[in-house]
Chains A and B, each alone.
Chain A
Amino acid sequence: MSNLEEQVAQLQAQMDAMKSQTPSNKLSMIVFSGDLDKALAAFIIATGATAMGMEVVMFFTFWGTPILRDKNKTVGGKDTMGKMFGTMLPKGADKVKLSKMNMGGMGTAMMKSLMKQKNVASLEEMIALAEELGVKIFICEMSMGLMGFKREEMISYEGVEYVGVATFLAEAADSKIQLFI
């Protein structure tokens, strides 16, 4: 009899262990690219996933980081390299270019007007929608430091967090889907 109880307890423990290993209904995405087309795809997938009932985490790193700069904010006190990165990298979602057929900005302008005509949301609108839908945004602390970006020049986004790779990996380990864009 006590043997049976022991077995039940063992099974219970095994089931608890399995439960803790089952990933959540979550999508974790690394947004590495700073291209308009890829960023758009990232946000379409992210917002679509919330519609599918998933929790979504986006981790912006490297060239993806400047997408989240606020075009209306300027900060001082940067060193020479920081100023250089600040000038050379796009200042926010509106300034991001296509990865192909940019043609000195002409291609990007044409794509944007085409998107308007076809009623496809702009990248800025997609970011606002993601915020409304509760998509969580992490920004890579190291990329911020490397490129000399300051938190004060980033968009205000509900619940945005500045984190390292471990924080993202903890989310990714608990996700059903992980994407790198």
Chain B
Amino acid sequence: MSDDIKVDKSLDLKGLACPMPVVKVSKGIKEVEIGQVIAAVTTDPGSLTDFPAWAKTSGNEILKSEQDGNEITFYIQRKS
């Protein structure tokens, strides 16, 4: 967990393969209000490029991403 970002919802996407991480994150982001933040944890290396591409297209913002071993955590703010 990051200290400076307030997380409103966590999504465990560990073990999921393409296209499930983006499918689930696009569903998950709709479950928080605009301005709120979700923390999504994946183990799919493809999500390193997929999440930024998804965020750009869907108009949401990745505030921060961090990698711990094979786990990648994205902090995503709902913008639209």
Contacts and interface: CB of A to CB of B under 8 A. Distances in A.
Interface of A: 44-45, 47-48, 50-53, 118-121, 129, 133
B16 A44 contact: no
Interface in B17-39: 17-20, 22-23, 25-26
Given A44-B18, A48-B18, A120-B17, A53 B23 contact: no
Interface residues of B, number: 13
A133 B22 CA distance: 12
7 contacts: A44-B19, A50-B23, A52-B22, A119-B16, A120-B18, A121-B17, A121-B20
B50 to A, nearest CB: 8
Contacts, number: 36
Contacts of B15: 119
Contacts of A44: 18-19
B17 A51 contact: no
Given A118-B17, A119-B17, A47 B23 contact: yes
A51 B16 CA distance: 15
Interface of B (DSSP majority class): helix
Interface string B60-73: 00000000000000
Nearest to B14: A119
Nearest to B24: A51
A51 B26 contact: yes
A48 B17 contact: no
B35 to A, nearest CB: 19
B54 A52 contact: yes
**Which residue among A48, A119, A133 has the maximum number of chain B CB atoms within 10 Å of its CB?**
A48
B18 A51 contact: no
**Which residue among A47, A51, A53, A118 has the maximum number of chain B CB atoms within 10 Å of its CB?**
A51
Contact of B23 (A51, A118, A119, A120): A51
A48 B26 CA distance: 10
